[in-house]
Amino acid sequence: MPELTEQQIKEGIADHSIAAITLDTNVFDRYGCSLGFPVLRKLDQFRGSDIHFVLSDIVSNEVINHIATEAEETGRLLKKAFKDHGRRWALPAVDRVPAPGLRLDDEPRQLAATQMANYIASTGCEVIAPTGINDVTAHVLQRYFASQSPFESALKKKSEFPDAFALCSLESHAHHENIRILCISADKGWRDFCAASAHLVCVNDLERALSYFNETGAAFAATVVGLLRQGASQELIDSVGSALESRLDDRDFHADGWSSVEFETEPLGAVAQLIRWDTATPPVVVAADEDVVTFSTRLEARVAFEASFSFSIRDAIDEDYVPLGSEEVSTEEEITFEVVITVARNMDQGLDVAEADVALSQVTVNFGTVEPFQSEDPTHEKY
């Protein structure tokens, strides 16, 4: 169906013609597939209500794959770090093995599947499979050969099959239930498919979509953001600052720069120097009840980044790379981050922040020109 205005979506929710909400895989990816992130967790607000949270079986399995793939990579790096550290200090073999609690010997996909199953159970989500009454194989193949969305792109036509099965099964489910489903996706293929569907409506932002169901908390959230902009609540400032610090600690950035020789980079750390409280954007309410309101806002901050550059040069004779040492460099950058805050409505005893969590997109930091030996004192005698 043609793209609806915000007002038309709200009217559809009010008259119950929009009776379900679903997410594309890229929505989970935006939050690093962290299923405990507040915005994803708050989909439990629809449990037992007239609005159903549904997921395509395709999307569910893609999220499982993304979690498992990342877990495999972090596990590999952790095992390597233990071995390298043990070799460096000649530790016995028993001390070169990570603790069992890290679960490095468990099957990543099985752990990811359990994590997803727990999320589905906790949110009351219904998983829609492209089988049985929603068997859409013939419909998908028809769209494929007709080059209809999401198969318009000849370059990646075959890679769109998962999206096609997800969308067609969701459309089939909506048709049989005689409802419309609000689909959250930043993918053009999803938007184009929904634009031609009588049962699917697409918006690209989850927080904004959730705000359509939670207008009752808007005035309260605006009051809290006003306090944030003024720096009038120390608890709020401390909660947001701590959430940003925690996110910077566990999220690597990409370090880049220029050098006259080959180099590899390793991020060492990032520390917030200043949060510009007056830049807080208008709140978007993602959940609200009689006790608490959860909303998101965006802020700007100045962050100090530190990285290590390891240099090498190629030997023209044997074509090996000869190491030239490393340099640790730092720089400061302005970033924009999103924070999701849950606040108690009762402010008789002051503002009570129940939770604050930061979502941060991948940051690329340019350290400018970095050369080998640049930190050495040129006046120092080496011999």
Work out the pLDDT band at 144, boundaries 50, 70, 90.
low
Three-class DSSP labels, the chain = CCCCCHHHHHHHHHCCCEEEEEECHHHHHHCCCCCCCHHHHHHHHHCCCCCEEEEEHHHHHHHHHHHHHHHHHHHHHHHHHHHHHHHHCCCCHHHHCCCHHHCCCCCHHHHHHHHHHHHHHHHCCEEECCCHHHCCHHHHHHHHHCCCCCCCCCCCCHHHHHHHHHHHHHHHHHHHHCCEEEEECCCHHHHHHHHCCCCEEEECCHHHHHHCCCHHHHHHHHHHHHHHHHCCCHHHHHHHHHHHHHHHHHCCCEEEEECCCEEEEEEEEEEEEEEEHHHCCCCEEEEECCCEEEEEEEEEEEEEEEEEEEEEEECCCCCCEEEEEEEEEEEEEEEEEEEEEEEECCCCCCCCEEEEEEECCCCEEEEEECCCCCCCCCCCCCC
Q: What token pair was written down for 144?
A: 């494929």
| pLDDT, tens only, 356-374 | 999 988 899 999 999 998 7
Whole-number pLDDT of residue 3: 80
Q: What is the mean pLDDT of residues 32-36?
A: 95
More confident residue, 295 or 130: 295
More confident residue, 376 or 317: 317
Q: Among residues 302, 245, 253, which one has the least CA distance to residue 277?
A: 302
Whole-number pLDDT of residue 383: 42
Residue 215 has pLDDT above 70, yes or no: yes
Quick one: what percent of the chain has pLDDT higher than 90? 69
Whole-number pLDDT of residue 240: 97
Whole-number pLDDT of residue 60: 96
Whole-number pLDDT of residue 251: 82
CA distance 360 to 252: 10
| pLDDT, tens only, 297-343 | 999 999 999 999 999 988 777 777 888 889 999 999 999 999 999 99
Q: Is 100 exposed, middle or buried (0-12, 13-18, 19+ CB in 10 A)?
A: exposed
Q: Domains in the chain and their CATH numbers?
A: 6-211 (3.40.50), 217-369 (no CATH)
Whole-number pLDDT of residue 380: 46
Whole-number pLDDT of residue 314: 83
Q: What is the mean pLDDT of residues 149-169?
A: 71
Whole-number pLDDT of residue 361: 84
Whole-number pLDDT of residue 382: 47
CA distance 128 to 182: 15
CB atoms within 10 A of CB 171: 22
- Cis omega (within 30 of 0) for bond into 100: no
CA distance 292 to 220: 10
Q: What is the mean pLDDT of residues 52-63?
A: 95
pTM for the whole structure: 0.84
Whole-number pLDDT of residue 140: 67
CA distances from 86 to 32, 89, 97, 363 (A): 31, 5, 9, 32
* Lowest-confidence pick of 70-84, 260-274, 280-294: 70-84
Work out the pLDDT band at 146, boundaries 50, 70, 90.
low
CA distance 175 to 128: 13
| pLDDT, tens only, 171-213 | 999 999 999 999 999 999 899 999 999 999 999 999 999 999 9
More confident residue, 130 or 206: 206
More confident residue, 141 or 167: 167
Residues in the chain: 383
285 and 305 Cβ atoms separated by less than 8 Å: no
Whole-number pLDDT of residue 104: 80
| pLDDT, tens only, 264-286 | 999 999 999 999 999 999 999 99
**Mean of per-residue pLDDT scores for the chain:** 89
Work out the pLDDT band at 90, boundaries 50, 70, 90.
confident
Whole-number pLDDT of residue 103: 80
Q: What token pair was written down for 1?
A: 């169906």
Whole-number pLDDT of residue 141: 64
Whole-number pLDDT of residue 2: 66
Whole-number pLDDT of residue 81: 85
